[in-house]
Amino acid sequence: MAPLAFLAMMLGSLLGGIALSVFGNQTAVDSGSAFFGCFALVFIAGLIAPAKRGNTTLIFAGLVTLLALVSLVASIATSLEGFADQPPLQKILIPVSQILGGLYAAFLLPPLVTPGTLLEQLWKEINSLGMVVILLGIVISLGGLVARVFAGTWAGAATGLGVIALGAATWLLPFAHVLLRMRRLPAAMNNLMSQNDNSSDDTTRTA
């Protein structure tokens, strides 16, 4: 199980980096690689362990979070090469992207692979995911404000605001779907009424 999951992580990391390379920014490439790599790791690990899917997903998501926090501490509090020499924004953005990748996989995997899951249940999970991401963004923003006082950088606060925006967009996604369906409802009603009128005309001609 583990080798396949880590292979998926490498593939997801590669594809995520390629996808975000359109922005022409190395920070975006590294963040996309971190997010999609960890998403693939947690998702595939849970997918190939159906008997203990819940526990496996939580274990891998927790492992991703732990490693991301270790990376964050190493980049801020140590002088280790490869960590301390990163730009301030990358020091916070990459670990946060890893945590978000694990979170999104942990929330989205169960409703997507559980037989008989209704669309409403999927939207409920997405709502819950959005709230968790918003709370994470608030925590990061508060930590970023503290970092601004002691380290003179807005990187943490800016990252936190970005995470809050991502969480809000995730939380609003089900409502956007409902709104879209409501906008399509009048057109569907008009089509139905038109079909009924045509059917009535055909019946009248036949008679």
pLDDT surpasses 90 at 165: yes
Task: Specify the pTM.
Answer: 0.82
pLDDT surpasses 90 at 35: yes
Is pLDDT larger for residue 207 or for residue 161? 161
Reported confidence tier of residue 110, pLDDT bands at 50, 70, 90: confident
Q: Write down the domain spans for the chain.
A: 1-117, 118-207
Q: Report the 3 state secondary structure along 128-191.
A: HHHHHHHHHHHHHHHHHHHHHHHHCCCHHHHHHHHHHHHHHHHHHHHHHHHHHHHHHHHHHHHH
Q: Mean per-residue pLDDT for 111-134? A: 86
Reported confidence tier of residue 191, pLDDT bands at 50, 70, 90: low
